[in-house]
Structure 1
Amino acid sequence: MAIESEHRGSDSPYVARVWRGRTTGAGVMTSIATSTSELVFWEDHGVVHAAVRGPETVPTSVPIEAGSDSFGITFAHGASLSHLSAAALVDSGAAAEHVAGRRFVLAGEEWEIPGFDDAEQLVQKLVRSGVLTRDPLVDDVVWGGAARVGTRSVQRRVAASTGLTVGAIRQIERARGAAALLREGVQIPEVVHRLGFYDQAHLARALQRFIGRTATQLRRGGAEDVLSLLYKTDQQARP
């Protein structure tokens, strides 16, 4: 099985990434851990589906049908849907009702499914309606910024918008960054140094816990080893 995919960044503070993909054969994909939620759409045998997926704290195996098209809007840390509990979405999701054509229901309202190039138009509408909100503090502290409020307040606000702790988010993102570097062929000691792991054993435990692969497997790669969307953020890309 192979997945043809592409993704892009966004100027919207509510969006981390926009992606789309198509499978060229049936098989099993490893959905690796992620600390963000997303709004995802897919078409399977002519039927359109829509759902909100929450953060995933462990890798899971996902069966994939041949010829399935998918499209997603990955929200930035701190962006959340006001009608859904962030905690309840962790390692879970919520299906959205499909109305007809390219329309779906979210928070009791009908919305048009956007395209890959104009996903931000839907995001803007969700923000204006109050369905999508954002706590800017969360994204700042996740990437090491200093907060002007107490530690307990930070943890409460991060948990309220993501369902996770700051520590869990940073662990997941560091493991994803390491996996991306290893897939690019970066040597293991360099990954350990660049991302601040204690040693190679620490890196190995993080990869097994959040990615479901060893460093050697990631470096070897191969068309048969299919992982969910893997990319480096701007923060992870810095040496």
Structure 2
Amino acid sequence: MPIESDHRASDSPYVARVWRGRTSGVDQLTSIATSTWELVFWEQQGVMHAAVRGPETTASIAESVGDSESFGITFAHGASMPHLPIGPLVDGGRDSPHVSERTFLLRGEEWQIPGFDDAELLVGKLVRAGVLVRDPLVDEVVRGGAAPVGSRAVQRRVAATTGLTQGAIRQIERAREAAVLLGAGVPALDVVHRLGFYDQPHLARSLQRFIGRTATQLRQPDPAADPLSLLYKPDDPAGS
């Protein structure tokens, strides 16, 4: 397989998902839109790298040079790093200035690179050091909960921690869920009604913008097409 991937949920309120992957013989892949940001580590041609990657507002083509192994911590809505304003990270990222085989630099401090099974140990250290903070209201309203403050205050806090508007987050998450359902064989018309799209053309536009695929391509994947980056239903703890 050109891409092998695995992911798991987390019991940390700061973490949405922990994932790992391996690519082999892949020149490029389709990176799908995501409303969350993440801390990513990867080894390529024997060299370790680390970076903070921001939300992605559209599907895009990502280049891959040779075989690589990667691991990432996807943070929950509401989690942020005050020393790294999220706005400039949207559709981009920032590499760690120094990475060794076992450590990386973040906020000018050296940290141990964690593994897939113990990512929460690093998250806990970042929280205790004040590198990682959380606004629980943001996570609550993104999930559809009521806010104890006015709508303008909510909008400011969502934008400050996610770099996106609530509307953009909903659009991205809905497209991702639609892609998962279509890939599981759910008919497009059922997806339209289940997720609240206006009609099938609306679904088609959303898929093309955020996933880079049509409904037919998701139901009947082309083995010759560029592989998709990791796709899962965000609110499904067991994965998909």
TM-score scaled by length of structure 2: 0.95
Deviations 1:26-84 (A, max 9, x none): 22100011000000000011100000000000111011133200000000001111110
1:93 — aligned with what? 93
For the pair 1:206 / 2:206, whether they are aligned, the reply is yes
Supply the AA of the counterpart residue of 2:104: F
Whether 1:227 and 2:228 are equivalent positions in the alignment is yes
Q: Residue 98 of structure 1: SS of its match in structure 2?
A: coil
Q: Partner residue of 1:55?
A: 55
Matches within 5 A, 1:114-133: 114-133=114-133
Q: 2:158 corresponds to which residue?
A: 158
Bigger drift between 125-134 and 214-223 goes to 214-223
| 2:139 aligned residue | 139
C-alpha separation between the residues in 1 aligned to 2:177 and 2:161?
22
C-alpha spacing 1:7/1:192, structure 2 compared with 1 (3 Å): same
Which whole-Å CA distance do the structure 2 matches of 1:87 and 1:22 have between them? 29
1:14-53 aligned at under 5 Å gives the runs 14-53=14-53
Which letter maps to 1:219?
A: R
Deviation track 1:126-183 (CA, whole Å, cap 9, x = no partner) reads 0000000111111111121110100000000000001100000010000011011111
Structure 1 residues 22, 168: CA separation in 2 closer, same or farther (over 3 Å shift)?
same
Question: C-alpha separation between the residues in 2 aligned to 1:92 and 1:123?
Answer: 22
Give the match for residue 83 of structure 1: 83
- Provide the rounded CA distance (Å) in 1 between the counterparts of 2:222 and 2:130: 43
> What is residue 8 of structure 2 aligned with on the other side?
8
Aligned residues: 237
Q: Structure 1: how far apart are the matches of 2:199 and 2:37? A: 30
1:101-120, CA deviations, whole angstroms, 9 ceiling, x for partnerless residues? 21000011100000000000
For 1:189, give the aligned amino acid: L
Match of 1:107 in 2: 107
Task: Please give the secondary structure, in 2, of the residue aligned with 1:152.
Answer: helix
Amino acid at match of 1:38: E
Aligned residue number for residue 149 of structure 2: 149
| Structure 1: unaligned runs, 5 residues or longer | none
Tell me how large the CA RMSD over aligned residues is. 1.5
Q: Give, in angstroms, the shift of residue 235 of structure 1.
A: 6.5
Q: Give the secondary structure class of the aligned counterpart of 1:73.
A: strand
Structure 1 residue 97, shift from structure 2 partner: 2.3
TM-score of the aligned structures, taking structure 1 as reference length: 0.95
Could you list the structure 1 runs, at least 4 aligned residues long, displaced by more than 3 angstroms after superposition.
222-225
Instruction: Tell me the distance in 2 between the aligned counterparts of 1:108 and 1:216.
Output: 47
